[in-house]
Amino acid sequence: MTDEDRLIDCLVGNRDLLAKNGAEVPSPGLYRKLIRGLLRNAAKTSLGEDARDLVMDAVAPTQEPERLILSGPSFLGTPKMAAGGGTLYSSAEARLGYFHQMFPHDRIEFFFSIRNLASFLPAMYEATNFTSMSEFLRGIDPVEIRWSDMILRLRASYHDMPITIWCNEDTPLIWAEILREMAGLDSMAVLDGEFALLEEIMSEPGMERFKAYVASHPNMTEVQKRRVIAAFLDKFADDDAIEEELDVPGWTEELVDRMTEFYDEDVFAIQRIPGVNMITP
């Protein structure tokens, strides 16, 4: 419930560039159903020794890549499993364990986008069959739920696994860096579509002026680009594309404000977790 596959689609669109740098980014349709089945079987019995071969045959790289990029919104669980009992993705440790079993001799990196729970929980709830938010959360007060708790659990279970986190709300400002980090590219690599997200939230005249500005300043650093993006969004953002309407029975504006405040505090807590790379504007 963050970028709706825009990130992986953008990487797929840069497949040739990534391939030159040893990275393979297969289309999700080649592997998601297969991996979903493997995860389901692993939970019931165990993973077969041929699990890695099955995945590699499905994505069909021409040669063994140095880096394989797989993405799936349900890798850690379905919407129904996302916040049961107030615990975010209670099966996350087990499911990441299955990935380690699936790729036993490979180095696994974990990339994950978080989102303000005031909007994330309603979005997840809408994708389930629960009849109320209270039933979805099993009566847990939403202000008590924290992303940092989930990340601390993963950090404790997988001490050496690199973890990269970012806030969905910051994505327009850090889109290009997220792409490069996932692809294993250096900071100066030029990617097609690195401003694609801005086109969805900036007015057309503003986007035209932004592109003209970027074209006339080709040597900007990543930090300078973010400042320029922030300045243009401040002036040309499409408010209708940015604003979210929250309508959860029983949720007051005060509750949403409290959850947002706690989310901001939680982001700082995540930044302090050892071994976590937090991409920020």
Which of 41-50, 67-76, 249-258 shows the lowest mean pLDDT across its residues?
41-50
Tell me what pLDDT residue 247 has: 78
The mean pLDDT value for 184-193 works out to 88
pLDDT of residue 238: 81
Every domain of the chain and the residues it spans = 6-202+237-279
Q: Is 246's pLDDT higher than 80?
A: no
The pLDDT of residue 232 is above 80: yes
pLDDT, residue 56, reads 95
Residues 3-27: what's their mean pLDDT?
A: 94
pLDDT at 242 over 70: no
pLDDT for position 241:
63
Give the per-residue pLDDT at 200.
Answer: 86
The pLDDT tens digits for 210-219 are: 999 989 998 8
Residues 74-92 have pLDDT tens digits of 999 999 999 988 899 999 9
Q: Got the DSSP string for the chain?
A: --STTHHHHHHHHTHHHHHHTTEE---GGGTHHHHHHHHHHHHHS---TTHHHHHHHHH--SS--SEE----TTTT--GGGSSGGG-TTTTHHHHHHHHHHHSTTS---EEEEE--HHHHHHHHHHTS--SSHHHHTTT--GGG--HHHHHHHHHHH-TTS-EEEEEGGGHHHHHHHHHHHHHT--TT---TTTTHHHHHHB-HHHHHHHHHHHHH-TT--HHHHHHHHHHHHHHHB-HHHH------TT--HHHHHHHHHHHHHHHHHHHTSTTEEEE--
